Structure 1
Amino acid sequence: MASAPANSLPIFYNDLLPLSSADHVDYKVQPADAAPFLTTSHAVPLTVDEFVSAQRFAPIIFSAGTDSVPLLLMGLNEGVNTFVDAEGKLNGPAYIPAYVRRYPWMLAKLRPDSDELSLCFDPTSSTIGAFDEGQALFEDGKPSELTQGVLKFCEDFEQAAARTGQFVRDLEEMDLLMEGEVSIQTPIAEQPFVYRGFRMINEEKLRDLRGDQLRKINQNGMLPLIHAHLFSLQLMRDVFEAQIAQDKGPIPKPELPAEATA
C-alpha cells in the first residue's frame, strides 16, 4: 500500500506534482465537504492502524491475487459506494479511511534511483490552487503550519502502510488467507447473490495454529486485527441492504473485483 510514483498512480490520483516553495508559494487550500472521487469506489485501501475503528462500519477484506492489501468494503458491487451520495457527501455514520483523508496529498519518490520521498499533490484537485481565500501552504517562503501537518499525516500513513504490508506478509507466511465467498439470500431473487473475488482469513486454519504461532500473533498484536477483520464480515448483509435501499444494486451477477490497486 505504499505510495507510488507519478508513472504508476494509485487510485483517486490523476497526476502528481511535488510541492515547491518556488512554484506554489501563493497556493492555498480550501476546505471540502464532499469527495466526488469516492462515489464510484466500492473498496478503499485500509491500514492495520484503522482496523479496530473501521470494523464497526463496514467489512474489511483482502484483495485477491498476490500482494494482497486490506480493503474497506463500502459497497458490494463495483462502482457502488453506499456511504456517500451522488455528490460524494456522507449520507450517514461512516469510517473514512486515511487513504481517502490523505487525498490530494501523498509522499512519492521523484527519482527511481532514490528512496527519498517528497510531498506531492494532485494538481487536478479543486481544493488546492492560487486562490484569493483559503489556508496558505507557505508563509514567508517556508511551509506553513498546515503544510507541516499535512507532511506529518502523510509520513504517519507511510509508516502505517509499512506495518500493514508486514501484517499481510505474516498472514501469507502462516497460510491464513483463503479465497472468500459470501452468499446472501433475499426475497428479491430465488437464487442467492454470491460475492467472490476477494480474500479473507481462514478461521479453521486460525483455530489449528500451533501454540508457538498463536503466542506470536498474540504478542505482536496481530490477533486483535484478525478478530476485527472477522467480526467486520458480519456487515456484508448490511452493505447489501443499503445498496437495495439506495437503489444502487445488486446487479444480476454480483462479484467483487479480482484485484485492487493501492
Structure 2
Amino acid sequence: MATAPTQQSLPLFYNDLVPLSSQEHADFRARRTDRAPFLVGQHAVPLTVEEFPLAQRHMPIVFSAGDNPVPLALMGLNEGVNVFVDDEGKVREPHLYMPAYVRRYPFMLARLRPDSEELSLCFDPSSETIGAFEDGEKLFEDGQPTETTKSVLTFNEQFEQAGQRSGQFMRELKELGVLMDGEVSIQPEGAAQPFTYRGFQMVDENKLKDLRGDQLRKIAQNGMLPLIHAHLFSLSLMRDIFARQVAIGKAPQPTMQQPAG
C-alpha cells in the first residue's frame, strides 16, 4: 500500500505528502485529537486481512470491484455517509475498532521516486495534528528521532507488511475463483421497494463449498479459511449499517440503487 508522493497518486485521506525531515521539521510535534475530520463522508476504508477478526464485529468487510480487489471496511453503505463519526469527525462510540489505515494518518511510508523501492516516512502537511506547536509530542530531539517518531515508523512498517500479506490473500482468492459480484437488498419496513447495493465483490459460499479437498486443506492450513469466514459473517452487518443511516437521518432516496464498495 506504499504510494509515491505525487499529486496524481495520492491515497485516500491524503491531500499532500512531505518527507519527514530532522532538519526541516526539527521543531515539529504531533498532538492527539479525538476527531478525524478526514473520515467524514468516507464510507469505505482499506483493511488488512489481519484486521478481519476484529473488524468483522463492527462493520461489513467486502472487496473492491475490478481486477485488483482490495479488502474494504464499510463505514456506510452510501457515498458520502460514515455512520461511525459525526459531522466533525468525532467517533460516535467509544469501543469501535478503527482500521489501521485510519490510525496511521497523517503518516505513511512512501517512495520519494517512482523508480526507487526505498520507502521514507512522510506526512500530510494539511493535517492539524502535526506542526510547530507548543503542545504535543516532539518528533525530533537534538536532530534525532524521538521515541514517538520511532513508534510511528514501526507502526507504518508493520502496516506495509500487513498490506503485502493482504495482497497475497487477494491473489490466492482470485486463483481459487471464489469471488463474485456482490449484491445486497434491504427492505425497510414501509418501503415500497428494497434498496439494492452493488459495486463490490464477495466470496461465493457455493463456490467455496465446491472447492476440491486439497484446496480446502490448503486454505485451512495457511489461515485463509477463518479470514474468509470472518468476511462472510460480517456481511450480516449491512442491515445494521443501513439502520444507523436511517437513525442519523442519512437514509438513501427510495429511487436510488446505491454502490456499497
Asked if structure 2 preserves the Cα contact closer than 8 Å seen for 1:62 and 1:198, the reply is: yes
Deviations 1:210-242 (A, max 9, x none): 000000000100000000000000101000000
User: Is it true that 1:5 corresponds to 2:4 in the alignment?
Assistant: yes
Tell me if 1:206 matches 2:205: no
Q: Aligned runs of 1:147-158 on 2, under 5 Å?
A: 147-158=149-160
The Cα of 1:257 is off from its aligned counterpart by: 5.8
CA contact under 8 A between 2:49 and 2:165: conserved in structure 1? yes
Q: When the two structures are aligned, how many residues end up with a matched partner?
A: 257
Structure 1 position 132, deviation (Å): 1.4
TM-score normalized by the length of structure 2 = 0.97
Number of the residue aligned with 2:49: 48
Where 2:76 maps in the other structure, the secondary structure is coil
* Conserved? CA contact 2:197–2:260, under 8 Å: no
Contact between 1:59 and 1:234, CA under 8 Å: does it hold in 2? yes
- Give ranges in structure 2 of 5+ residues lacking alignment: none
5 Å matches for 1:127-206? 127-206=129-208
* Other-structure match for 1:254: 257
Amino acid at match of 1:60: I
Specify the alignment match of 1:59 in structure 2. 60
Structure 2 match to 1:105: 107
Identity of aligned residues (%): 64
- Give the aligned residue type for 1:213: Q
Q: After TM superposition, give the deviation of residue 42 of structure 1 in Å.
A: 0.3
CA contact (8 A) 2:106 2:123 kept: yes
Deviation at 1:254, TM superposition (A): 3.4
Q: What is the CA–CA distance in structure 2 between the aligned matches of 1:202 and 1:236, rounded to whole Å? A: 17
Residues in 2 aligned to 1:125 and 1:188: alpha-carbon distance in whole angstroms: 43
- CA distance in 1: counterparts of 2:139 and 2:115, whole angstroms: 29
Q: Which whole-Å CA distance do the structure 1 matches of 2:258 and 2:67 have between them?
A: 19
State the TM-score, normalized to the length of structure 1. 0.96
Q: Do the aligned partners of 1:27 and 1:130 also contact (CA within 8 Å) in 2?
A: yes
Distance in 1 between residues matched to 2:166 and 2:55, nearest whole Å: 15
Secondary structure, in 3 states, of the residue corresponding to 1:6?
coil
Distance 2:120 2:165 in 1: 20
Let me know the Cα RMSD of the aligned residues.
Answer: 1.0
Counterpart in 2 of 1:117? 119
8 A contact 1:59–1:73 mirrored in 2: yes
Q: 2:247 aligns with which of 226, 242, 245?
A: 245
Query: 2:191, 2:58 → 1: CA distance?
Result: 26
